[in-house]
Structure 1
Amino acid sequence: MAKKTPLHAQHLALGAKIVDFSGWQMPLHYGSQVDEHHQVRRAAGMFDVSHMTVVDVSGGQSTAYLRHLLANDVARLKHAGSALYTTMLNEQGGVIDDLIVYRMTEPGTGEWYRLVVNCGTREVDLAWMADCAVRFEVSLNEQRDLAMVAVQGPEARALTASVLSDSRARLIEGLKPFQGQESEGWFIARTGYTGEDGLELMLPDDEVAGFWQALIGAGVKPCGLGARDTLRLEAGLNLYGADMTQQVTPLESNLGWTLAWEPADRQFIGREALEAQRSEGVGSKLVGLVLEQRGILRAHQAVTVDGVGEGEVTSGSYSPTLECSIALARVPVATGESASVEVRGKSLPVKVVKPPFVREGKKRFS
């Protein structure tokens, strides 16, 4: 049976269309996916993301453990509250998951970290993390009693602060992008998955319904998984299981920037395979596609690049902001500025661009 988040009753009361998402009953939309998308781009929308998995890592070797486990380097996190995006790889360099890691204390003061990983990979992630922890003095603790709400959009921070205590409001005002801090039992981070400014808040299950209702009262609109997907696609953000998997590496997924190659003696899992791939030459890359005529780009459609080779759409949809179809696709590394995609038996020309398509409400490609 699919699990319910602490906000399930609120979703039903708002008339949400509920679907099974990685074993959770989640709202797809509350009436209009397109309206919800525009709400986030133009003002503020909120998402129930309580299905995400939160894992706290503590112990005397927590930093050493994460420097081995993750492709990005937590040693870059110089202060409590700083965060980074990273991948967690297998020995072949394939992506087990992508995640955000927060440093929760100042270096040298009983260090511990908070990781937020995908719900669809929860069991695989936890098993892998536990296996890799055997050689280190660390403790892994899943925080199953925390709900999580993402408030996103140009007005997200101001509207969220308006319904919280003075101390939490001051914290929000002072947060820089990719920072998170604890406040009165909540954890508030300036992160998101939409290409807009905003917050992700982790709070006790029994407090989230009141917070959700307060946000509605402030004018923040509930949004579902449908809008979340079109927003992240416009922002050029990868979806696990589609744009990245255990069969492809970050170098093939437009995620080379998440690999911390220095210092050269940090032996993170997958490094040897990635160095070999980089030395031999990467054969494919993840690019953006724009279809400027009628038609919808979808995952698994064939991509043809004349004189170069073939690829495949990894995820695609209609872009409400751009009013055309867009996609991410894995194509030969020699691909230039044009290609074609097979849509309903027809070969349609597409423009090849570097993601993102949209950030902070504005078109980001020429």
Structure 2
Amino acid sequence: MGQRTALYDAHLAADAKIVDFGGWDMPIHYGSQIQEHNVVREDAGMFDVSHMTVVDITGPQATQYLQYLLANDVAKLQEEGKALYSGMLNDKGGVIDDLIVYRADALGGYRVVVNCATREKDLKWMNEQIAKFDATLTEQPQLAMIAVQGPEAIAKAQLAASADHANIIEQLSIFQGLPCGDWFIGRTGYTGEDGLEIMIPADEAPAFWDALLNVGVKPAGLGARDTLRLEAGMNLYGNDMDETITPWQAGMGWTLALKDDREFIGKEALLAEKAAGIEYKLVGLVLETRGVMRSHQKIIFTASDKTGEVTSGTFSPTLQQSIAMARIPADAGNECAVDMRGKAVPVRIVKMPFVRNGQKIFE
């Protein structure tokens, strides 16, 4: 038996199929992964993401610590609650984890949300680095987290929330999070739709989950979360990047703040890699025939004997065709095929994301 969130009984009551996910007993779906995917694209769905790790960084040198720890620069966060996405790198520039950090003056510094599967190594690394600074890292295990996502997510979450919480939701700009009492409400997500990620005391989570159900928000499991994030061109740690892959090779170059004198872990390695020539890149693939691309399938090229690899692949419920992310040699050319059981099936390289706000956006 794995760890269970405060919403475990609510998942059982909704006939969830429970699977192990990073040591947690989590819902993969509630009957139909495709229906759950579609409701997020068309209306509003909700996910239990209480397995994520929430930590607060406080103290006189909280900013300096995060500027050293992260490849993106928290000095960009000029407004209360504003958030940014960043890689946390090792000395070789590999991605230890990707995370979101919010400026949280009301909490005394910053709030950081990291992945559940990497919790132990993340906290070990973060605590090792913070020893050099006058700052404190405090995990917040008492918090559950519910993600409400979709074109109707904001409106329905306001209906389910108290007047005070609804007022905070009304104030939020995209990629901003603000506290309200013991709650912290972020206008962020992992689906390519508008929505919220709401950190809430665990003992209040079941009642709020029920309130969301009562206004028509449908539960969605990890299966739909994966197809949604892939359509949105969002990386999954352990698939699309890890400690051996740098942000340059993971489509995360846009998160690197390299143009100032700030020193951060991995910067020297990143600059050296760029100067030498970045060998691999992450691209989107579309399969325009039957079949489904899957992780670890080999990519072969017409004009080169070099090969690439699918990092994440699925059938897209929105597009009704298979899509994938793949890491390929930067100079291998654009005509390629995926090796599917020994057969070279042509695929097309496209710019990600595949879907935004429910609509196909690639050419």
2:279 maps to: 283
CA RMSD of aligned residues (A): 1.0
2:110 maps to: 113
Secondary structure of the residue aligned to 1:130 is: helix
CA distance in structure 1 between the partners assigned to 2:192 and 2:112 by the alignment = 21
1:178 maps to: 175
Give a deviation string over 1:54-93, Cα, whole Å, max 9, x none: 0111111000000000000000001210100000000000
- Equivalent position to 1:237, from 226, 234, 237: 234
1:360 maps to: 357
CA distance in structure 2 between the partners assigned to 1:206 and 1:78 by the alignment = 33
- Residues matched between the structures, number: 362
- In the alignment, structure 2 segments of 5+ residues that lack a partner are none
- Equivalent position to 1:317, from 310, 314, 317: 314
Matched, 1:260 2:250: no
CA distance in structure 1 between the partners assigned to 2:101 and 2:18 by the alignment = 30
Secondary structure of the residue aligned to 2:6 is: coil
1:36 maps to: 36
1:306 maps to: 302
2:90 maps to: 90
Deviation of the 1:168 alpha carbon: 1.6
Q: Give the letter for the 1:245 counterpart.
A: D
Q: Give the letter for the 1:146 counterpart.
A: L
2:187 maps to: 190
CA distance in structure 1 between the partners assigned to 2:58 and 2:168 by the alignment = 24
CA distance in structure 2 between the partners assigned to 1:120 and 1:59 by the alignment = 27
Secondary structure of the residue aligned to 1:273 is: helix
CA distance in structure 1 between the partners assigned to 2:280 and 2:121 by the alignment = 26
Secondary structure of the residue aligned to 2:105 is: coil
CA distance in structure 1 between the partners assigned to 2:81 and 2:259 by the alignment = 23
Give the TM-score of the pair, scaled to structure 2. 0.98
Secondary structure of the residue aligned to 1:169 is: helix
- In the alignment, structure 1 segments of 5+ residues that lack a partner are none
Q: Give the letter for the 2:32 counterpart.
A: S
Give a deviation string over 1:77-132, Cα, whole Å, max 9, x none: 012101000000000000000000001018xxx84110000000000000000111
1:55 maps to: 55
CA distance in structure 2 between the partners assigned to 1:40 and 1:123 by the alignment = 31
Give the TM-score of the pair, scaled to structure 1. 0.97
2:68 maps to: 68
CA distance in structure 1 between the partners assigned to 2:324 and 2:124 by the alignment = 32
Maintained 8 Å contact 1:63/1:111: no
Taking the TM superposition and a 5 Å limit, the aligned residue runs for 1:211-230 are 211-230=208-227
Q: Give the letter for the 1:211 counterpart.
A: F
2:149 maps to: 152
